[in-house]
Amino acid sequence: MKELLIILVASSIVNNVVLSQFLGLCPFLGVSKRVETAAGMGGAVIFVITIASFVTSLIYKFILDPLGLSYLQTIAFILVIAALVQFVEMFLKKSVPALYRSLGVFLPLITTNCAVLGVALNNVSYGYSILQSVVNGFATAVGFTIAIVIMAGIREKIEFNDVPEPFKGSAIVLVTSGLMAIAFFGFSGVIK
């Protein structure tokens, strides 16, 4: 239990997926203009990464590893993730239309998101069990949501500020992310 808690804190805050590992940067920069949209994206990412880390660790534990095919992990994971996202999209559309309306738009954008593949590969390289992988996936995605929602909140304020001409657009967002990364650096001593 303690171990799971450590993974939860480490992956969501200490090693924040966006601000210290630079994964999932595309949606972080692109879909963070409004808090509402950012939260929707965060929800979709939590949903997809948690399911994806469960499925990929199942595949690794029961198919790739026993058969000595672990060198196929990159190919297998990316295809599984791409198929999974499409499947989840179809499933939600049919069975949970309310959830689909709030997350559906973002699902296709996550298909080739490096955060999803990155978490799956990390789970293998850290040697996590299936339960640990799911917790790690969930925590990483929560970290992503924290970062993107904070960012969207700041960006809504930046719109009213007088930003120097060349820094308008993505440059000022990157400066802001740098400052956020410094803030998150403060957590780095929490877990060894």
Partner 1 sequence: MNSIKERMINGLFKENPTFILMLGMCPTLAVTTSAINGIGMGLSTTVVLSLSNLLISLLRNVIPDRVRMPAFIVVVASFVTMVQFLVQGFVPSLYASLGIYIPLIVVNCIILGRAESYASKNPPIPSLFDGIGMGLGFTMSITIIGLVREILGAGQAFGVQILPLADAATGKPGFTPITIFVLAPGAFFVLSLLVAVMNVVRKKAEEKGKPLPPAQGCLADGCVGCGFAASCTGKSTAELSQLIESKPAAAKKSAESVSDKKEGEE
Distance CA 82, CA 4 (A): 28
Smallest distance, partner 1 to C-beta of residue 37, A: 5
Q: Does residue number 90 form part of the binding site for partner 1 (CB under 8 A)?
A: no
Instruction: Select 1 or 67, whichever has its Cβ closest to partner 1.
Output: 67
116: Cβ contacts below 8 Å, ≥ 6 apart: 48, 49, 52, 81, 110
Distance CA 142, CA 34 (A): 18
Q: Does residue number 167 form part of the binding site for partner 1 (CB under 8 A)?
A: yes
Which one among 7, 10, 17, 40 touches partner 1, defined by CB under 8 A?
40
Compute φ and ψ for 9, nearest 5 degrees: -70, -45
Q: Does residue number 190 form part of the binding site for partner 1 (CB under 8 A)?
A: no
Candidates 3-11, 60-68, 134-142, 163-171: pick the segment binding partner 1 (CB under 8 A): 163-171
Distance CA 55, CA 77 (A): 9
Q: Does residue number 25 form part of the binding site for partner 1 (CB under 8 A)?
A: yes
Q: Does residue number 143 form part of the binding site for partner 1 (CB under 8 A)?
A: no
Which one among 169, 186, 190, 191 touches partner 1, defined by CB under 8 A?
169
Candidates 59-67, 91-99, 120-128, 139-147: pick the segment binding partner 1 (CB under 8 A): 120-128
Distance CA 192, CA 186 (A): 13
Instruction: Select 5 or 190, whichever has its Cβ closest to partner 1.
Output: 190
| Token output for 82 | 């791409």
Q: Three-class SS of residue 1? A: coil
Candidates 5-13, 30-38, 53-61, 131-139: pick the segment binding partner 1 (CB under 8 A): 30-38
Residue 187's Cα: distance from chain center in Å? 19
Q: How many CB atoms lie within 10 A of CB 69?
A: 13
DSSP 8-state assignment for residue 164: -
Query: Which residue ranges make up the site for partner 1 (CB under 8 A)?
Result: 19-23, 25-27, 29-31, 33-34, 36-37, 40, 71-75, 78-79, 82, 105-106, 108-109, 111-114, 117-118, 121-122, 125, 164-175, 177-179, 181-182, 185
